[in-house]
Homo-oligomer: A and B are copies of this chain.
Amino acid sequence: MASNGVTVNLGSGRSLSSHAGVTLLEALNSAGVRITAPCGGEGTCGKCRIQASGTLAPVTPAERQLLTPEQLQSGLRLACQAQVQGDVDISVPDTSSQPEMRIVEHGAAREIQAEPAVIKCHITVPEQTLSQPYSRLEHLSRCGDLRADLVTELSVLQRLPSILDSVSGSATAVMRDNVLMAVESGNTVDQCYGVAIDLGTTTVVASLVDLNDGRELARAATVNAQTRFGHDVVSRINTALEQRDGLRQLQEAAHESIALVLKQVLTEAGIPSEQVYDAALVGNSTMAHLCLGIHPGSLGRMPYVSTAGPMLLAPPESTGLSIHPEARTYVLPSIAGFVGADTVGAILAASLDEDDGRTRLLVDIGTNCEIVLRLGDRLLVTSTPAGPAFEGARITCGMYAAPGAIESVRLDGEVGYRTIGDQEARGLCGSGLVDISAELLRVGIIDATGRMVGPDELDSDVAKGLRQALIEHEEGMAFVLHNGGGGGRVFLTQRDVRELQLAKGAIRSGIDLLLEYAGLSPDALDEFIVAGGFGSYIDKHNAMRLGMLPRLDPDKMTFIGNGALVGARLALLSRTLRRRGEQVARTAEHLQLAHTPDYQMRFSESMMFDP
């Protein structure tokens, strides 16, 4: 297209450059000027009103619907509708500016505009008179200037009469988009909370968020009670297929774990459950299906697809959440059978939904490992079954990243480690597992094939303090990290090393094959992002030494912690990011790894160490 630059004059001497064909909202947003658009620019809320004159495209049908003839006459436009065609003068009303939020997780951060799906509006409600014969609901709506397309569930209407009888002059409306969820007496705008749930195959995490400012008020984690039916998604799918009532039992187990972490965060923050008006849930497709009571059978057979993929608003009790009854759990959409809502969440957390011109790779390490490549306007995704080792499951002394977990290890003549919360060591979390394995490899206690050698095979320069830590264990050698009082020991066994090898082999072969598919070498990456709920950061050098991650400039490597959970929090706080995630789910290109001829070979190669 030819150059078609135009100037948008904002008054007070400020102006910005844009080009013909974009809407005023797009022009303002790209210049960093934020104005209120709760509907996300769909032309349905009518909130992005702006005074505009100059060369603009004609008034659209949406504007004719949402603005009165008088307002249009006076030059009022909807910024999301009005297309710039030449130089334009505008004035942005003060009331349209939005606060910004900074969603921080383990040092990584994403700046977003505050536009939570659920908002509270305080309304001054004078007594209704005979000349206002319309319904009390409409009276409330008019007094509060609520959305014209307001809708209400019958259950809310049934509660309204007694609430409205008690309202004397002041009420608060709780709105989800154009849905009136509740009316409360007085001004309760301050009390508005949401909960983000990461339903992992192994670990379930809840994060309680203040919807007014985006702050995380509390976080809690627990082991998914479904693990009693097996450690991976395949065993869960088989339970649903084979056991009578299996689906219901799996659903109840998921709900039990979700209810537990919800209770923990509410207790910690001192928030009553009925003030939690919104929830967002991420999880892989199997977890989402089981939690919602949708049979996962199709995920277990060719072509391995889910039944439900797009986003879903589910009643909270159907996801195990006892929160406000009119809340709806926003279940993030999924991309493919084995690339679920958790990946969409991590993509949002890593800002991979946007093309910023850089080539970026995201590895989300969980029981299933998903790998995402942002390459220009393309988003390539794949997944690989890493197993639960990094979340502590199937590791003899493994545990989730909680106080007492060994999170980093250093073998300098003797065994040194640090635990989360500096408490006495109780077990080994993901980052600790990586460290101890890499250190044992470095000092020669583990060889390139992953075998843990006996004391008599060790090089003579291995320190005595380390030799003494080697013990005989049921299935081979083991290495003791901690000898606690009362016989509480933390150690790593030969079998644990094999579990690690399976996990890191799966992750590495997935990364390599996706990069090869895209025709890229690891050096071509501008950023390498690692997500996952394993304690603090994994040591970059140790992860590369193990061959779990490809060797590249460590400065390019960033850690974003539990990206899936951050994505769920972002979905609570930004309607725009909900839509972006839905767009990602529709447009990402999925690479079916298990069905490339190379995969099995590459997987077994990747299990070896390359010290």
Q: Are B57 and A152 in contact (CB under 8 A)?
A: no
Distance between A333 CB and nearest chain B CB, rounded to angstroms: 9
Interface status of A592 (Cβ within 8 A of chain B): yes
User: Which 8 residue pairs are nearest across A and B when measured between Cβ atoms?
Assistant: A135-B309, A133-B336, A161-B295, A133-B590, A135-B306, A130-B303, A154-B314, A57-B58
Would A161 and B294 be within 8 Å (CB), given that A43-B62, A58-B21, A130-B595 are in contact?
yes
Question: How many copies of this chain are found per oligomer?
Answer: 2
Given A133-B336, A160-B294, 12 additional A-B pairs, CB 8 A: A43-B62, A133-B303, A133-B304, A134-B336, A136-B305, A157-B307, A160-B307, A161-B297, A161-B307, A162-B295, A164-B298, A165-B297
How many A residues touch the partner, as a band?
A: 35 or more
Q: Are A309 and B80 in contact (CB under 8 A)?
A: no
Q: Are B83 and A58 in contact (CB under 8 A)?
A: yes
Distance between A485 CB and nearest chain B CB, rounded to angstroms: 50
Interface status of A138 (Cβ within 8 A of chain B): yes
Q: Are A128 and B43 in contact (CB under 8 A)?
A: no
Interface status of A369 (Cβ within 8 A of chain B): no
Return the chain B residue nearest A160 by Cβ. B307
CA distance A158 to B297 in the complex (A): 12
Would A310 and B154 be within 8 Å (CB), given that A295-B162, A592-B133 are in contact?
no
Q: Are A303 and B158 in contact (CB under 8 A)?
A: no
CB<8 Å pairs between A and B, sample of 29: A42-B65, A43-B43, A57-B58, A60-B60, A60-B61, A62-B62, A129-B303, A130-B302, A130-B304, A131-B592, A133-B337, A133-B590, A135-B308, A135-B309, A135-B310, A135-B334, A136-B305, A136-B309, A137-B307, A137-B309, A139-B305, A151-B310, A154-B315, A154-B318, A160-B307, A161-B295, A161-B297, A161-B298, A165-B298
Q: Are B43 and A61 in contact (CB under 8 A)?
A: yes
Interface status of A419 (Cβ within 8 A of chain B): no
Neighbouring B residues of A294 by C-beta, 8 Å: 154, 157-158, 160-161
Distance between A125 CB and nearest chain B CB, rounded to angstroms: 13
CA distance A157 to B318 in the complex (A): 12
Chain A contact residues, CB within 8 Å of chain B: 21, 23, 41-43, 57-58, 60-62, 65, 80-81, 83, 85, 128-139, 150-152, 154, 157-158, 160-162, 164-165, 285, 292-295, 297-298, 302-310, 312-315, 318, 334-337, 339, 590, 592, 595
CA distance A234 to B21 in the complex (A): 59
Neighbouring B residues of A85 by C-beta, 8 Å: 58
- Best-buried of A151, A293, A309, A334 by chain B (most CB within 10 Å): A309
CA distance A131 to B596 in the complex (A): 12
Q: Are B61 and A81 in contact (CB under 8 A)?
A: yes
CA distance A42 to B44 in the complex (A): 9
Q: Are A61 and B303 in contact (CB under 8 A)?
A: no
Neighbouring B residues of A303 by C-beta, 8 Å: 128-130, 132-133
Neighbouring B residues of A152 by C-beta, 8 Å: 308, 310, 312
Neighbouring B residues of A313 by C-beta, 8 Å: 151
CA distance A595 to B306 in the complex (A): 62
Q: Are A80 and B61 in contact (CB under 8 A)?
A: yes
Q: Are A136 and B306 in contact (CB under 8 A)?
A: yes
Neighbouring B residues of A305 by C-beta, 8 Å: 128, 132-136, 139
- Best-buried of A43, A154, A298 by chain B (most CB within 10 Å): A154
Neighbouring B residues of A132 by C-beta, 8 Å: 303, 305
